[in-house]
């Protein structure tokens, strides 16, 4: 069995940390490969996931007082209390800022779930650096975005060839949950219905209505 097998490195609340790289008000405008609002919602969903499952999370920005803009306020509102936000002064690779590197090491989690804007810069370099440091990396494609589909495709090929696991927001959350009977079940349902899978709210409402009618 491969040392990188799913069973060996399965995401759990005890072994996983989340990195949110440069989800900034200016940079998000450059996302053209898929819906900007979906990227916003999925980044929020990952931040809320940290609260539901008790995961450590580190967020970072690049030159937030410049054209990249501040961290998305709706994302800031979802971060767990006390989660560090590292404001870099110009380092392209977040890990080149010693404060970010230290904050990630302090999480002491072997699995890192990483999302970033722009995909071929913020997500790419953070993921590659994390892999180089020995972490198992899940690069979350739908909480990241870039300027065009070609840039996304080449970036994902590079990440995959380097050993990163390409994942989705819902995939990450579901793997952490594992069983709807676990304590994170209600919080997961809330994340799905309000952020990651808005249609799920209608599914739950329909089920609730049907259950009530049967009663």
- The CB-side HSE value for 197 (13 A sphere, CA atoms) comes to 15
Sheet containing strand 136-140, strands side by side: 85-88, 57-62, 16-21, 111-116, 136-140, 165-167
Q: Which residues are catalytic?
A: 122
- CA 106, 187, 165 angle in degrees (round to 5)? 55
Question: b or e along 163-191 (b: 16 or more beta carbons within 10 Å of the residue's beta carbon)?
Answer: ebbebebbbbbebbbeeeeeebeebbbbb
Rounded distance between C-alpha atoms, residue 137 and residue 159, angstroms: 10
- The CB-side HSE value for 30 (13 A sphere, CA atoms) comes to 21
Cα separations in angstroms, 65 against 70, 90, 171: 7, 11, 34
Structural Rg of the chain based on CA atoms: 17
With the C-alpha atoms ordered 102, 103, 109, 112, is the resulting torsion angle positive or negative?
negative
């Amino acid at each position: 069995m491969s040392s990188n097998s799913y069973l060996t490195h399965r995401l759990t609340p005890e072994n996983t940390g989340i990195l949110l790289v440069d989800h900034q008000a200016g940079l998000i405008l450059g996302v053209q490969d898929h819906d900007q609002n979906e990227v916003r919602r999925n980044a929020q969903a990952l931040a809320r996931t940290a609260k539901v499952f008790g995961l450590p999370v580190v967020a970072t920005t690049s030159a937030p007082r410049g054209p990249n803009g501040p961290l998305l306020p709706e994302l800031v509102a979802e971060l767990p209390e006390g989660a560090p936000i590292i404001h870099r002064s110009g380092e392209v690779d977040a890990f080149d800022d010693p404060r970010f590197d230290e904050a990630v090491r302090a999480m002491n989690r072997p699995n890192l779930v990483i999302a970033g804007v722009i995909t071929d810069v913020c997500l790419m370099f953070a993921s590659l650096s994390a892999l180089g440091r020995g972490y198992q990396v899940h690069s979350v494609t739908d909480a990241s975005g870039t300027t065009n589909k070609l840039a996304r495709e080449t970036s994902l090929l590079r990440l995959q060839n380097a050993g990163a696991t390409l994942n989705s927001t819902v995939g990450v959350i579901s793997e952490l949950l594992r069983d709807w009977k676990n304590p994170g079940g209600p919080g997961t349902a809330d994340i799905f219905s309000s952020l990651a899978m808005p249609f799920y709210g209608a599914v739950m409402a329909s089920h609730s209505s049907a259950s009530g009618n049967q009663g």
